[in-house]
Amino acid sequence: MSYPTGPPGARAADGRGPRRAGGHKLRVNPIACEAHGMCTELLPELISADPWGYPIVTPGYVPDDLLPLARRAVTACPTLALLLDRDD
């Protein structure tokens, strides 16, 4: 399992390995989000819900092995509030 992006020598958020340059980050547009919960169902590894059902995205970069699931969650968002940004 690899963990992308960060300054040289930086460790992954869980401390298991180095990060490399370039990666993807998830973010939520709070204005567009209507708390449908689709993203929390499709990507529970990185997104949880607050008490009102709004998504809380785990900070940091999306691991390579979860990138296809992250893209699927972004595509499935009914209000297009979930975004996947490339950080080069």
Count of beta carbons in the 10 Å neighbourhood of residue 41: 12
Residue 87: predicted pLDDT: 83
- Model confidence at 73: pLDDT above 80: yes
User: Are the beta carbons of 79 and 53 closer than 8 angstroms?
Assistant: no
Residue-range domain boundaries for the chain: 23-87
Q: Residue 4 and residue 44: Cα distance in Å, rounded?
A: 19
Q: Summarize pLDDT for 5-29 with one digit per residue, the tens.
A: 444 444 455 545 444 556 999 999 9
Architecture of domain 23-87: 2-Layer Sandwich (3.30)
What pTM, to 2 d.p., does this model score? 0.73
- Model confidence at 30: pLDDT above 50: yes
Find the range with the poorest average confidence among 9-13, 72-76, 83-87: 9-13
Residue 42's contacts (CB-CB under 8 Å, 6 or more residues apart) are 69, 72, 73, 76
Residue 68's contacts (CB-CB under 8 Å, 6 or more residues apart) are none
